[in-house]
Structure formats: C-alpha cells, structure tokens
Structure 1
Amino acid sequence: MGPTLINGIPGHVLFVHIAVVLVPLTALALLVCAAWPQQARRFGLALPVLAAVTLVSVPITTHAGEWLKHHVANDPLVRQHAELGDGLLPWTVGLFALAVALWWMQRRTGAASQADPAAVDEEARPGARARGALRAAAVVLSLVLGAGAVVQTYRIGDSGAQAAWHDNFSTTRTPETGSR
C-alpha cells in the first residue's frame, strides 16, 4: 500500500505527521464551511480534496504502522497503539463524506443563486428553512465528526508516544561527553 521504509527510517514515524496535521485541519475547515456557506463557496473543491488526502493518509500510515509493529519487540503498549490507530479510519471516512456533501450542497445553492440573481437574500429564496435545517445539521455533524476525529488522533498519538518512549530515556540528566 505504501513504503514501509524511507531512507532507512520506518515510514510510519514520518507518515504519522501527515495525519496529525491533516485530521485537525480538515475538521476545522469542515466546521468553518458548515457554519458559514460563503466560506464553503470560497473553499470550493479544496474542501473535499483536503478531506480525500486526509482519508488516504490514514490507511497509508496504519499500513506502515502494521509493518513496524511486526519489526519491534512485542509490547502491550505497541498493540494498544495499533488498536487505537485502526479506529481513525471511520472518523476520516465521515469527514470525507460530509465534506463531499457540503461541497455538493454549496454547488447546488450557488447554482440556484446564479440562476435567480434577484433571490440574493438566502431567507427570501424558496426552501430557505430546509436549507437552514440542513446547515444546522451539517454544523452539528461537523462538530461531532471533527471532535471525534481529533480526540481519536490525540489518543493514538499519545499511545504511540507512550509506546515509543517508555523506558527509553533517563529522568536524570546524562553527563555531557566531549568538550565544547
């Protein structure tokens, strides 16, 4: 599915940074576009593209992580990290699906306002209440999906740091070697 080693370094430790940045960024962009339709028009196709890149980054990262899991000592913290990592994909699928839905709704309402320039006022157009209800639902969904994805990303990252760093450092400062 993707490289497991990059320049001699396990790919997982590099790919993880993509997901750690893109998941919260996608969640924030999704919330902004759901709450403010004018921002959704500005984002345009960039929102679903961002969500797609985020979605694709997760299985690439987990694939590289599975490889790494089989190349380190058997550790319960590593197993816990891997299990948590498997739980991020459904959240990013939800972010992507909502991003596509918002983009599609924005295109439809944008096309309708261009077809009827006299109906510039959103409240005056037919179906304004339904659009308002859909927007409210989109805001709530983006909050739920975004918060879930970000919290899951945090939990995965924390467990990965625990797995990587437990017993791998000293709590006391080590003496410096060499002279300056």
Structure 2
Amino acid sequence: MTTVAGLPAHILLVHAVVVLVPLTALLLVVESLWPAARRRLAWPAAALALVAVVVAAGSVVTVYRIGDSGARAAWTGQFSATPLPRGGAPVTPG
C-alpha cells in the first residue's frame, strides 16, 4: 500500500477530493455572483479544479490497486499486520 508520511495515500486522496471539490464549487458560485471576484479568482479556481481532478484520478488509482478485497478488509477490520510477499501469494505457516 502506498503511504504518505506513514498514512495510507488512499485516505489522504479521498479526503483531499472531499475538500477540494466543494471549495472549487464555492469559488465558482462566488465568481458567478460577484463580477469583481471573477477577474481575480478565474485562474485560481481553474487551477484548483485541475488539482481536484488530478487528486481524484489518484484516488481512483489507489482504489484499483487496493481492490475489492482490500476495501472489505479495511471496513471489517479483518486484515493482517504483516504484508504479503511480492508475488501476492500468502505464506502458509510450515
């Protein structure tokens, strides 16, 4: 699993999207209602929207990498503290 500063990247990316998308929408509403703000906020809003799309794409990639079984394990708390070997096959105790 990919981590950022010791935290799972998926969780950080999903929460970044949850914050960035409404913030972008709020900027667009402000721009549409306040013409003076439109001149100042057009480029920052466009940049923020682009960042939100890139972060959302990163979140989708992490969901794909985790897969359904990883999501089920995370939600039910049934996961192992030891990672699988590189091949992905579980090690059976001998």
> C-alpha deviations, 1:101-154, integer Å up to 9, x for none?
xxxxxxxxxxxxxxxxxxxxxxxxxxxxxxxxxxxxxxxxxxxxxxxxxxxxxx
Choose 34-43 or 16-25, whichever is displaced more. Answer: 34-43
- Structure (1/2) with the larger helix percentage: 1
TM-score scaled by structure 2?
0.65
Report how far residue 70 of structure 1 moved: 4.9
3-state SS in 1 of match to 2:70: coil
Asked if the contact 2:31/2:42 (under 8 Å) is kept, the reply is: no
3-state SS in 2 of match to 1:68: helix
Aligned residues: 76
3-state SS in 2 of match to 1:45: helix
Q: Whose Rg is larger?
A: 1
Residue in 1 aligned with 2:41? 43
What letter corresponds to residue 52 of structure 1 in structure 2?
L
Residue in 1 aligned with 2:70? 72
Aligned match for 1:32, one of 30, 33, 39:
30
* Aligned-pair Cα RMSD in Å: 2.5
Aligned match for 1:60, one of 48, 58, 61:
58
Select the structure with the greater relative contact order (CA < 8 A; seq sep ≥ 6): 1
TM-score scaled by structure 1?
0.37
Give the Cα–Cα distance (whole angstroms) in 2 for the partners of residues 9 and 44 of structure 1. Answer: 33
* Percent of pairs with identical residues: 36
- Which runs of 5 or more residues in structure 1 are unaligned? 79-162, 169-180
